[in-house]
Structures are given as C-alpha cells and as structure tokens.
C-alpha cells in the first residue's frame, strides 16, 4: 500500500534526522567572516588610492543585545568555523524536521478535512 510505504519512508527519514541532530556536537551562534580594516596612519597603504586594506582578520560576530565582534587567531578561526558549520547544519535539520512533523500532524489532526 502506497500510503504505508510513504509513512515508513518518512519514519526512516525522521530517524536519520534525529540521529544526526544527536551527533552534531558543538554549535556556535553568529557568523565567522574575514574582516579587512584601515589603520590610523594617514601615510599607510590602507589609505592609498586604491587602498590596500589590512587583513584578512578572521572575525566572529554575534548578536547579544548589540553586535559583539571578536578577532580570532588562525587556530580559533579553524575551530570556530567547524562549530559554526555545525550550527548551520543543525538549523537545516530542524527546518526539515519541522516540515516533516507538519505533514504528520496535519494528517493526524485531519486539518485537510475541515
């Protein structure tokens, strides 16, 4: 029966999603970007035309009450990027899980029939 097969497939997908969520490890909020800056020296190449800016400086930015920025060492940058990728992956998995349960609950609650 097609509906039963579809339910079994959805159930397996849900198990895969929840298992991956359980294994995701550290998740870091905010974003990691490479920042380029100007310094205070008016004779510096960063003030020339065209300017050669300083950097890249890997930077972690997140919103608490305001935006908080922290410049990272290369080693921190490597670690933080991994955790930040985990966070993005977790959000994707949750979005898919929400969509999954929306279908399940829609069927169970008979929303389509009203």
Site residues for Zn ion per CB under 5 A: 39, 44, 46
CB of 44 to Zn ion, least distance (A): 3
d(CA 60, CA 62): 7
Closest to Zn ion by CB, 46 or 97? 46
User: Cβ closer to Zn ion: 10 or 46?
Assistant: 46
The closest residue (CB) to Zn ion is 44
Smallest gap, in angstroms, from Cβ of residue 32 to Zn ion? Answer: 23
98, 18 Cβ separation under 8 angstroms? no
Question: Are residues 84 and 76 in contact, defined by beta-carbon separation less than 8 angstroms?
Answer: no
Q: Which of residues 52 and 78 has its CB atom nearest to Zn ion in the complex?
A: 52
**Sheet containing 67-71, strands listed edge to edge, beginning at the edge strand earlier in sequence:** 31-37, 54-63, 67-71
């Amino acid at each position: 029966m097609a509906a039963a097969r579809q339910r079994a497939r959805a159930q397996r997908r849900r198990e895969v999603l929840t298992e991956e969520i359980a294994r995701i490890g550290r998740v870091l909020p905010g974003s990691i970007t490479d920042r380029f800056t100007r310094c205070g020296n008016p004779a510096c190449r960063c003030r020339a035309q065209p300017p050669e800016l300083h950097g890249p400086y890997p930077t972690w930015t997140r919103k608490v009450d305001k935006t908080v920025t922290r410049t990272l060492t290369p080693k921190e940058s490597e670690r933080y990027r991994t955790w930040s990728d985990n966070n993005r992956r977790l959000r994707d998995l949750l979005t898919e899980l929400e969509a999954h349960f929306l279908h399940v609950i829609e069927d169970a609650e008979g929303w389509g029939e009203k």
